[in-house]
Amino acid sequence: MKVIADLCIVPIGIGVSVSKEVAICERILTAAGLKTHLHAYGTNIEGDWDHVFAAVKKCHEALHAAGVPRISTSMRFGTRVDREQTMEDKVRSVEEKTGAVKKQESARILPGVAD
């Protein structure tokens, strides 16, 4: 089963900066062959359910092996079986709708500008 997930792994007890630990996890996700998109507060992941969750487990194992004593992880994930959908599909759908709304608002506020 395919899943799209939002992963936020927070290493605890290592100081303020966590970019080194985030990089460790990003390498693991990439090596697992998963499609990823790093963002300011986590990583979106797309792939097979078992592969995604196995990679998250590997992230925990690798961070503990690197000396991180505690890890707090938050995940949101979704599946659908009615049709194929990618992360890009989901973003594009919203962008198309917001673009249309912005154009309509511009036309209402400044007639002739949005044409």
Q: What's the pLDDT band for 6 if we cut at 50, 70, 90?
A: very high
pLDDT in tens, 11-58: 999 999 999 999 999 999 999 999 999 999 999 999 999 999 999 999
Q: Which amino acid is at 63?
A: L
pLDDT at 105 over 70: no
Write down the pLDDT at residue 100. 57
Percent of the chain with pLDDT over 90: 80
pLDDT at 101 over 60: no
Q: Which amino acid is at 74?
A: S
Identify which of 43, 3, 49 has the alpha carbon closest to the alpha carbon of residue 24. Answer: 43
Tokens of 55: 């990679």
Write down the pLDDT at residue 99. 85
DSSP 3-state of 93: helix
pLDDT at 109 over 90: no
Mean per-residue pLDDT of the chain: 91
